[in-house]
A and B are shown apart, each in its own frame.
Chain A
Amino acid sequence: EAQVTQNPRYLITVTGKKLTVTCSQNMNHEYMSWYRQDPGLGLRQIYYSMNVEVTDKGDVPEGYKVSRKEKRNFPLILESPSPNQTSLYFCASSSPGQGGRFYEQYFGPGTRLTVT
């Protein structure tokens, strides 16, 4: 089954304790992205990757790191989490659509992170 998986789905942690949220896709997609979703603010892009070893900042990259060493994986790293990073996080991956004219994004199930 084609899918994007994220782990963990739920995480409660304390300020300053490094954590990693994993994201993996089995569709051989080139593009992968991380978003956070907060009430009233919608989805905001944190980082994206166009291919292995190619990453770039989205709109809210501060406090986050990513890496893309393999095509299927795109982990999100919080080196020193703070309470303002409490949010719902989504990973997404993309492939070309018909005739390569667009890229539909498939979203993972989400990771709800609470930083106390």
Chain B
Amino acid sequence: QKEVEQNSGPLSVPEGAIASLNCTYSDRGSQSFFWYRQYSGKSPELIMFIYSNGDKEDGRFTAQLNKASQYVSLLIRDSQPSDSATYLCAVNNFFYSSASKIIFGSGTRLSIRP
């Protein structure tokens, strides 16, 4: 079993709809959770982080964390063609650090169709 699992996709969503991306993790000691967006041929860029159970909203993005179920998700409202990218879920076990031991999922490819 992979430590961080994501559906590879592609996930196809019509423009203007809500895109829902999911991630599960195996280590119950994980404390910090991140979503990165990566365009083809480019480097990853952080779009959301969360470390408490519940929802965290930032513009069109909402991250959801359920530690009991070991599940973290990313919702993108009013999806735009520019949201088409691969989304990487990442977790680590150090509450105040994202750089020490971080595990990435293999990513979900999202495609927004006009």
A binding-site residues for B, Cβ under 8 Å = 31-33, 35, 40-45, 48, 50, 56, 58-59, 90, 92-94, 96-97, 100-105, 107-110
Interface residue tally on B, bucketed by range: 20 to 34
Are A31's CB and B45's CB within 8 A? no
Indicate whether B60 reaches chain A with its CB closer than 8 angstroms: no
Contact residues in B for A90 (Cβ distance below 8 Å): 43-44
Are B97's CB and A103's CB within 8 A? yes
Q: Give 6 nearest A-B pairs by CB, closest first.
A: A31-B99, A42-B106, A107-B43, A94-B99, A43-B104, A103-B98
Q: How far apart sit A41 and B5, CA to CA, in the bound complex (Å)?
A: 10
Closest residue of chain A to B46, judged by CB? Answer: A104
Contact residues in A for B1 (Cβ distance below 8 Å): none
Are A48's CB and B100's CB within 8 A? yes
Q: How far apart sit A110 and B107, CA to CA, in the bound complex (Å)?
A: 17
Contact residues in A for B100 (Cβ distance below 8 Å): 31, 48, 50, 56
Contact residues in A for B90 (Cβ distance below 8 Å): 43
Contact residues in B for A41 (Cβ distance below 8 Å): 106
Nearest CB in chain B: distance from A51 CB, A: 11
Are B43's CB and A58's CB within 8 A? no
